[in-house]
């Protein structure tokens, strides 16, 4: 197949309608306008998007370009200032956690935009790895939980006294620092660390009070156990999203594209004068609309190339679906391109000249499908550009 200049990136990012320049001189003069895809949508707008999977309300997709949104819950804190005593003030000066703050935790839904299905898969996989039993994050929680149990027993046995309390504070601080628990994290984790530090201090009246200290340690243990529970639920949720939904959707759409590509390549070997040309063309059209239709090809980076293949090669379908395809095509590309599709196909017939034009369009469209399949494979195997950001996203997700 002849080489055609690559314009796949425009399909995925929603940039200029470079698709129509692929060997179509009339279109090349027309489609210069950019399609603006918003960087983000409001929660209200996202809730109006269609579900990617029937009955699964946590995943939606943008029908304009196939971008994926997965619902998560983020725990946020609202702080209220409180007075702290002189001893606590001395600790606060050298300790990077707000001691003496009362916090109100609120759980808020979020809909992060994950873009392509490959990026959604990589994000979900990363979250599973970050919250698995053997992950560094869970090991930190376990070691801190062991510290709270040790301190609780030390208060109970009398090992910790008024005289050595400050010494244990220094030891506890050092252990928390080594484990990485002093770095910003989820509100529950930060509260647990604050409770541990407060347990190694005197009470609000300036007294050594083992009972209050053990109460604070018990509170810290509950928060740490909750974090472990959240991690387990997160692994369960995102493993299900990966194996049962996202992987299956990606492989299905790629399989349909590959099938249509193989069928297209067979027709490209036919002569436009071949007496069976119309039979092969009609069979391809029927299969293409069945496998690449709007209700089948849903996710980026495959939705827009599939839609363009159908419209550019065959034109708008007859019947009640015609209006749906015109509307989605105009939203996915430009209003001008929506009208140009009609002009491209207005003189289609069964003549050898028309068959040759069909082959020219099919050749360009086949190259495009081949490119987007290659792009998707590279995208899945490409390291994330911002692993640090995705790591922080894995906290507080259920």
Q: Per residue in 261-318, pLDDT tens?
A: 999 999 999 999 999 999 999 999 999 999 999 999 999 999 999 999 999 999 999 8
Q: What is the mean pLDDT of the chain?
A: 76
Q: Determine the pLDDT at residue 5.
A: 39
Rounded CA gap, 396 and 306, in Å? Answer: 36
Rounded CA gap, 241 and 116, in Å? Answer: 15
Q: Per residue in 41-61, pLDDT tens?
A: 788 888 899 999 888 888 899
CA atoms within 13 A of residue 359's CA, in its CB half-sphere: 22
Rounded CA gap, 335 and 311, in Å? Answer: 14
Top-confidence residue, 100 or 267: 267
Query: Do β-strands 72-80 and 51-53 pair in parallel, antiparallel, or remain unpaired?
Result: unpaired
Q: Determine the pLDDT at residue 76.
A: 64
Nearest alpha-carbon partner for 131 in 58, 222, 57, 237: 237
Q: Determine the pLDDT at residue 279.
A: 94
Nearest alpha-carbon partner for 31 in 324, 373, 344: 344
Rounded CA gap, 231 and 396, in Å? Answer: 9
pLDDT-derived band at 78, boundaries 50, 70, 90: low
Range 68-91 average pLDDT: 56
Rounded CA gap, 23 and 360, in Å? Answer: 8
For the whole model, what pTM was predicted?
Answer: 0.67
């Amino acid at each position: 197949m002849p080489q055609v200049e690559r314009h796949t990136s425009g399909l995925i990012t929603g940039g200029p309608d470079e698709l129509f320049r692929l060997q179509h001189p009339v279109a090349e003069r027309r489609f210069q306008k950019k399609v603006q895809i918003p960087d983000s949508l409001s929660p209200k707008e996202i809730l109006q998007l269609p579900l990617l999977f029937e009955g699964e309300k946590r995943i939606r997709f943008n029908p304009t370009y196939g971008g994926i949104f997965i619902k998560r819950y983020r725990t946020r804190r609202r702080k209220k200032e409180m007075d702290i005593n002189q001893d606590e003030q001395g600790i606060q000066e050298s300790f990077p956690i707000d001691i003496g703050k009362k916090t109100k935790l609120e759980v808020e839904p979020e809909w992060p935009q994950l873009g392509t299905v490959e990026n959604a898969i990589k994000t979900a996989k990363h979250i599973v790895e970050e919250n698995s039993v053997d992950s560094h994050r869970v090991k930190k929680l376990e070691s801190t939980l062991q510290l709270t149990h040790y301190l609780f027993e030390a208060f109970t046995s009398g090992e910790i006294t008024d005289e050595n309390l400050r010494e244990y504070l220094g030891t506890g601080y050092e252990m928390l620092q080594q484990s990485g628990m002093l770095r910003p994290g989820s509100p529950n984790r930060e509260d647990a660390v604050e409770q541990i530090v407060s347990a190694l201090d005197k009470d609000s009246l300036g007294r050594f009070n083992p009972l209050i200290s053990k109460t604070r340690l018990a509170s810290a243990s509950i928060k740490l156990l909750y974090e472990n529970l959240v991690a387990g639920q997160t692994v369960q949720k995102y493993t299900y999203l990966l194996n049962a939904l996202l992987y299956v959707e990606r492989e299905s759409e790629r399989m349909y594209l590959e099938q249509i590509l193989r069928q297209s390549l067979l027709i490209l070997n036919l002569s436009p004068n071949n007496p069976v040309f119309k039979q092969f063309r009609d069979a391809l059209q029927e299969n293409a609309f069945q496998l690449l239709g709007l209700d089948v090809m849903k996710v980026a980076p495959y939705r827009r190339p599939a839609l363009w293949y159908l419209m550019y090669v065959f034109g708008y379908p007859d019947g009640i679906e015609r209006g749906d395809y015109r509307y989605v095509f105009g939203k996915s590309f430009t209003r001008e391109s929506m009208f140009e599709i009609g002009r491209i196909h207005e003189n289609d017939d069964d003549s050898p000249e028309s068959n040759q034009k069909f082959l020219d369009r099919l050749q360009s469209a086949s190259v495009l499908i081949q490119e987007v399949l290659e792009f998707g494979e590279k995208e899945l195997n490409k390291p994330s550009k911002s692993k640090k950001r995705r790591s922080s996203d894995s906290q507080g997700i259920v």
